Amino acid sequence: MRFAVASKDGKEINQHFGHVERFLIYEVEGDRVELIEEREVEKYCRFDPDHPLRSHTLKGTAEVLAGCRAVVCSMIGEAPRIELERLGVEPFVVEGDIVTTLKDLARVL
């Protein structure tokens, strides 16, 4: 199962969804958690007077996260959460060690 993780340091889930410029993509199988790649995205939280809801950015992010079961971040706003769910990406808000958290999530999904 693949997860997209928002992390500033590659060790902890500690980044807000809207501040991410790259997601760490992990493959989880049983007790094995492996970082397989990084995927760049356009930062969601930035001022854009022509597109205040930034739905085009969310769509692009969801496309980049194709194949991931979920996105895991320390915080996410209501509008992006709803849009990601609509686009088929399940968001989880949690903080902590990446490996431990992903193992726990994989057990319940």
pTM here?
A: 0.89
What is the average pLDDT across 20-41?
A: 97
Dihedral (Cα; 11, 14, 16, 19), 10-degree rounding: -50
Amino acid at 19: H
- pLDDT score recorded for residue 11: 97
Answer CATH for 2-108 from 3.30.390.30, 3.30.420.130, 3.40.50.300, 3.40.50.720: 3.30.420.130
In tens, the pLDDT along 36-90 reads 999 999 888 766 656 555 667 888 888 899 899 999 999 998 888 988 888 888 9
CA distance 94 to 77: 13
Q: What span, in angstroms and rounded, lies between the C-alpha atoms of 28 and 94?
A: 17
- Say if residue 30's pLDDT is above 60: yes
Look-up of token digits 């500690």: 14
Q: In the chain, where are the structural domains located?
A: 2-108
Interatomic CA distance for residues 84 and 88, integer angstroms: 6
Check whether 14 has a pLDDT greater than 70. yes
The DSSP-derived string for 38-75 is EEE---SSS--TT-TT-HHHHHHHHHHTTT-SEEEESB
Q: Which two tokens stand for residue 72?
A: 């895991």
